[in-house]
Amino acid sequence: MKNLKGKNAVVTGAGSGIGRGICLSLASEGARVVVSDVDVASADAVVSELTGVGHEAIAVATDVSQRHEVKALAEQAISSFGPVHILCNNAGVFSMKNIRDTTLEDWKWVMSVNLDGVVNGLTQFLPGMIEHGEEAHIVNTSSTAGLYAGPMIASYITSKYAVTGLTEHLREDLAPVNIGVSLLLPGNVRTRIMEAGRNRPASLGGPEVAPADFAASRAARTDQGHDPLDVGAMVVRAIQNNELYVVMNPERKENIDERLKAIRDGFVVTARHRDSLNH
């Protein structure tokens, strides 16, 4: 999809951070943008930025964990702009706990947004994208934590590994119907994800504030992270060139190489074990 002018795009988690960066970058290429966020005031602010410089955009309040709300988002997008050509399943939350300290509510909250939110986006938008038959593209936001596992953040890592696998599957599954697929793998980016607990529903133990010591250290790292506008520009490039992997932090390559080496070594050990059994 080289030319985005006149294309209709939907971005979830678009009220700040990476989502906002994607919206601004898509609009700069001439796309009409549906700015979706659970925090409608933030979505409205992004729309004001866009329309203030002549772009077409609307805000839609959406809790992506709720399929009926994502269905309503799809209906609003089509009713306002027409067929959707670009879907960015970007909404995400974060919980700083290892698995032994993770409550059922912690688990449900992270999974319902990070994984179910992506699935809800796909189920509610993909049939229409296939039906209209025009060129289309899907971007799912995972994380470098969806490529290798570090300590703590058990639910976050699990959700992002799942998004990685689902997106790689989609790449193969949708190739015959001319829908491109990209996997966004951000690492250290200047976002508000550490404040995601502010929108955690009461039914799942919210609102939540991140542990002060971790929040402070994370904030210091985040301040030195990538500009979300740079992430947005890379997403646009990936859409235009149908690139699968959009990796933001090259310094994480060593971690990923270590994981892949361990997997390859596992095959070697298995082969040796088989040989020993046959002798």
The one-digit pLDDT tens for each residue of the chain (279 residues) are 999 999 999 999 999 999 999 999 999 999 999 999 999 999 999 999 999 999 999 999 999 999 999 999 999 999 999 999 999 999 999 998 999 999 999 999 999 999 999 999 999 999 999 999 999 999 999 999 999 998 889 999 999 999 999 999 999 999 999 999 999 999 888 787 777 888 899 999 888 876 666 666 656 566 677 899 999 999 999 999 999 999 988 888 999 999 999 999 999 999 998 888 876
Per-residue pLDDT at 216: 64
Fold of 8-248: Rossmann fold (3.40.50)
Whats the size of the chain, residue-wise?
279
- Sorted by sequence, the CB contacts under 8 Å of residue 250 that are 6+ apart come out as none
Name the phi and psi angles at 271, rounded to 5.
-65, -40
Task: Enumerate the domain spans of the chain.
Answer: 8-248, 252-279
Reading the block at residue 107, the tokens are 């688990």
For residues 190 and 226, the answer to whether their CB atoms sit within 8 Å is: yes
Strand locations in the chain, DSSP E?
Answer: 8-11, 32-37, 57-61, 86-89, 136-141, 179-185, 245-247
Just list the catalytic residues: 156, 160
Per-residue pLDDT at 222: 61
d(CA 129, CA 8): 11
CA dihedral 194, 64, 134, 46 (to 10 degrees): -50
